[in-house]
Amino acid sequence: MKIEKPARYIGGEVNSVMKDKEKVDIRFAMCFPDVYEIGMSHLGIQILYDMFNRREDVWCERVYSPWTDLDKVMREENIPLFALESQDPVKEFDFLGITIQFEMCYTNILQILDLSGIPIYAADRTEESPIVIGGGPCAYNPEPLAAFFDIFYIGEGETAYDELLDAYKEWKASGGSRTEFLERAAQIEGLYVPMFYDAEYASDGTLKSFSPNNPHAPATVKKQVVTDVTDAPYPLAPVVPFIKATQDRVVLEIQRGCIRGCRFCQAGMIYRPTRERNVEKLKEYARAMLRNTGHEEISLSSLSSSDYSELKELVLFLIGEFKDKGINISLPSLRIDAFSLDVMSRVQDIRKSSLTFAPEAGSQRMRNVINKGLTEEDIIDGAGQAFEGGWSKVKLYFMLGLPTETEEDMKEIARLSDRVARRYYEIPKEERHGKCQITASSSFFVPKPFTPFQWASMCTAEEYMEKAAVVKKEFQEQLNRKSLKYNWHDERLTVLEGVMARGDRRVGRVIEEAYRLGCLFDSWTESFRSDLWMQAFENTGVDTAFYNLRERKEDELFPWDFIDIGVSRDFLYREWQRALAEEVTPNCRMQCSGCGAAKFGGGVCYEGKN
């Protein structure tokens, strides 16, 4: 009775996989280090769960971060963390796989290890401990977490996992040591074993060298890519949660990657090249997944759905097939154009829903710097078409603190929002749908690894607040201020995210110290403790300014440079220079910019070539 939502921990949901543990060779605990509702909304875990469980010799189960109420009880009663399906302790499994989606879940990773009774440091684990393996977007700079993981998987999970699991079975049968297994794993392309590498630092604190200390470990780790996403495994009977998940719906992944090349966007670089799924296959998937789950909503997933070449056919099929059956169709990440608005008016209740634009910057100059490829005319025209189509609510997303930003650029956020509202009031009064509501939100810019902005400096928390204050004041000056609303992100969280995103191995000490001081669920406003984090930096002697406030030199060695993502460092630096020159780079379909991703031999780089 002390636990808020017991259904987070009981398992037994529709489509969850039960096996006889005596009849499998490998037990794999798949972990999302956040609460159940968020973890259950994540497509990547559903894909791997389905893929692993198709193997007769593997039983993959799920585990999530216990919320603070259960965490307390488990510690008091000495209950070890358990997997949902069998309720067996995680420490009895062969593997603990943790997906790392966001920098602010790093203390939760230590909570998972701690509650499981698995030594936090990889170096302290024995033959009895599970192999702890990490993957996901944050694994592209694994260094802040290097001491806590045995292996990191770099890239898309559908490629090398089978080889790893087969190698594990062979090793288990041979009775070899843990180190021997890790040496075998290090030879599989895409796998990085941190303990087989040494980092040396120069007197100014920058990374001096990074090299393997074991002959089995390669100097460069290559990202894994599924070249043909159409035939990749896909979960046609995903697990249906007992309680409302953040995204309670069937998800259709229509493509991977993005052709746009926004310079702040890590996903746009690490998931290159763009690869589309076959539209006929997607139609089959939609039918099967709705039938197997009973969900009442279907959502198209991709970084930029409007760029999917068969979008029109797919959407018209979904409307024709499912609209009358009471199935909602959700279309995130669309550009606002005539086709999108026509479709949305057919699938949404216009009175209730709002449209989302992401101009990212207020001024055209700033949008050119970040390579957004969106003009003010596009934004105002799109909004105008939406207003004429019956919408009256619009959300606008911006970023503050971008490289080269001036006060004028910041003020343009408020002015652009006002011009959008003004466009609404150009419609004759009798044709309007109530009052117009424009909600502008700004997050603060964090430079991410493998983006052209990885060389950029950040601001202090105080400077971010000053920027938000400038924008807020400008909003109050606008003619249509009663129709405008402005929100901004937590600046203290941004500072931490910056250190974690571009940190090296020395940041691991801070994460451990913050966890020991009581930091947990840092991405949740109600449990985020900035004071404890600052205490952790002080206690460990690590300086946030070193990671955040300096612009990197062209030739500085980055902690993540040993990873080959296909996109070359030369291309990224060239894009950084083009950003400073305010030059726009065309998208991949308009013109190839020679980023390097063509070496994977598939996707958009080869479209139209036989």
pLDDT (average), residues 62-72:
97
Half-sphere exposure of 48 (CA within 13 A, CB side): 28
What tens digit of pLDDT does each residue of 316-344 get? 999 999 988 989 888 877 887 778 888 88
Instruction: Give the model's pLDDT for residue 467.
Output: 98
* pLDDT score recorded for residue 159: 95
Report whether pLDDT(610) > 60: no
Q: What is the mean pLDDT of residues 52-70?
A: 98
The rounded distance, in Å, linking the Cα atoms of 565 and 584 is 23
Which pLDDT belongs to residue 609?
A: 66
Q: For the chain, give the percent of residues with pLDDT over 90.
A: 90
First to last CA, the chain: 63
Chain length of the chain: 610
What single DSSP character describes residue 348? S
More confident residue, 584 or 246: 584
257-303: pLDDT as tens digits: 999 999 999 999 999 999 999 999 999 999 999 999 999 999 999 99
Distances, alpha carbon 545 to alpha carbons 369, 451, 460, 548, 551, in Å = 24, 20, 8, 5, 11
What are the chain's domains? 6-220 (no CATH), 249-348+563-610 (3.30.750.210)
What CA–CA distances, in Å, run from 80 to 1, 73, 91, 111?
19, 11, 8, 11
pTM of the model: 0.96
Residue with tokens 């997944």: 289
Give the per-residue pLDDT at 338. Answer: 79
What mean pLDDT do residues 95-106 have? 97
Phi, psi of 61 (to 5 degrees): -120, 170
Q: Is 429 exposed, middle or buried (0-12, 13-18, 19+ CB in 10 A)?
A: exposed
Average pLDDT score, the chain: 95
Note whether 55 and 24 are within 8 A (CB): no
How much is the average pLDDT of 174-201? 98
Question: And the tokens for 530?
Answer: 């900035």
**pLDDT band of 355, cuts 50, 70, 90:** confident
Which pLDDT score is estimated for 346? 81
Predicted local confidence at residue 413, as pLDDT: 98
Query: Span 119-148, mean pLDDT?
Result: 98
Sign of CA dihedral 92, 93, 95, 99: negative
Q: How confident is the model at residue 352 (pLDDT cuts 50, 70, 90)?
A: low
**Residues 11, 12, 16, 20, CA torsion sign:** positive
Q: Name the percent of the chain lying above pLDDT 70.
A: 99
| 351 confidence band (pLDDT: 50, 70, 90) | low
Contacts of 162 (CB under 8 A, 6+ apart): 55
pLDDT surpasses 80 at 203 = yes
